[in-house]
């Protein structure tokens, strides 16, 4: 059954419930509304719990008979004048206001509907507020860095997560020998991470992913030994065979801060373009 068919079926049942309510104190309008809002079954239950309407003429005839019987009781001295007056006032009030019971029922159903809509509005706004807060929290968590630790000292502080360093390798002459390696030394732990050649393109541009922290970035290398004589010569004159911008004392090392989810770019170790 399609949505339209279900709606028509629902409406038809609600009209039947409303028709039943015409013969009860709840009336057609409130019986129909309860059936529409809560379902025809619940509307039917509410309607059946409502008392049947009393015929006004029959009700008045019954009140007149009660007044006559009350008067006879007074004449026979069975009840006092005070009791007679009290009962007479109650009966006359019912005689003059025969629809009071139906009015009270409709008023109660009106208050019930009003309370229903107030609760429904509260639920709708409460759900909307909950969803808005949930979306705000999700957006905040999405935009929030991997770490919330504050780096207070670039040379010693560490935190969690990952960041990137990118730039270009440097060599005094054209082309960079294969034995020259780009290295990243963690300032805190002393761990050295060597750049994988796969992360360097033909123009010697590179990008590397590193844990967040402070790093010394430098290049150094030593050519492979071919003969024993070359090895002896290399030991006596390292400057000819080696290249390192770290220096023997390490003073030539350049420090770079890796921040979470951020890239420290244009890092050119040893070259004048180093930033």
Which of 87-96, 128-137, 150-159, 250-259 shows the lowest per-residue confidence on average (mean pLDDT)?
150-159
Return d(Cα 107, Cα 113) in angstroms, integer.
10
Q: And the tokens for 140?
A: 């905040």
pLDDT at 169: 87
* Ramachandran angles phi, psi of 209, nearest 5°: -95, 125
* β-strand partners of 164: 209, 263
Return d(Cα 258, Cα 232) in angstroms, integer.
40
pLDDT at 261: 92
**pLDDT-based confidence at residue 186 (cuts at 50, 70, 90):** very high
Q: State the pTM of this model.
A: 0.37
Q: And the tokens for 230?
A: 């070359």
Share of the chain above pLDDT 90, in %: 13
pLDDT surpassing 80 at residue 102: no
More confident residue, 41 or 156: 41
Topology of domain 162-267 in CATH is: Immunoglobulin-like (2.60.40)
The angle at the Cα of 218, spanning 217 to 219, to the nearest 5 degrees, equals 145
pLDDT surpassing 70 at residue 153: no
Q: Name the residue among 165, 203, 201 with its Cα closest to residue 183.
A: 165
The angle at the Cα of 113, spanning 107 to 118, to the nearest 5 degrees, equals 130
């Amino acid at each position: 059954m399609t949505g339209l068919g279900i709606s028509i079926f629902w409406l038809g049942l609600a009209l039947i419930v409303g028709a039943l309510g015409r013969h009860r104190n709840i009336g057609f309008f409130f019986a129909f509304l309860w059936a529409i809002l809560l379902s025809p079954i619940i509307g039917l239950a509410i309607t059946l719990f409502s008392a049947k309407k009393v015929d006004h003429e029959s009700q008045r005839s019954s009140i007149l008979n009660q007044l006559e019987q009350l008067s006879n009781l007074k004449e026979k001295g069975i009840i006092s004048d005070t009791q007679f007056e009290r009962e007479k006032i109650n009966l006359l009030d019912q005689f003059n206001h025969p629809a009071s019971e139906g009015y009270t029922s409709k008023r109660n159903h009106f208050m019930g509907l009003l309370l229903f809509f107030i609760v429904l509005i509260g639920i709708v706004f409460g759900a909307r507020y909950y969803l808005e807060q949930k979306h705000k929290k999700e957006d905040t968590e999405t935009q929030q860095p991997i770490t919330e630790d504050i780096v207070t000292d670039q040379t010693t502080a560490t935190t969690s997560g990952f960041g990137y360093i990118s730039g270009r390798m440097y060599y005094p002459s054209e082309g960079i020998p294969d034995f020259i390696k780009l290295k990243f030394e963690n300032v805190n732990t002393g761990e050295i991470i060597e750049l994988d050649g796969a992360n360097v393109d033909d123009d010697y541009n590179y990008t590397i992913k590193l844990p967040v922290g402070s790093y010394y970035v430098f290049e150094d290398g030593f050519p492979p030994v071919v003969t024993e004589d070359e090895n002896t010569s290399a030991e006596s004159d390292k400057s000819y065979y080696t290249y390192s911008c770290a220096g023997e004392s390490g003073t030539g090392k350049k420090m770079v801060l890796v921040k979470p989810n951020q890239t420290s770019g244009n890092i050119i170790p040893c070259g004048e373009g180093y930033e």
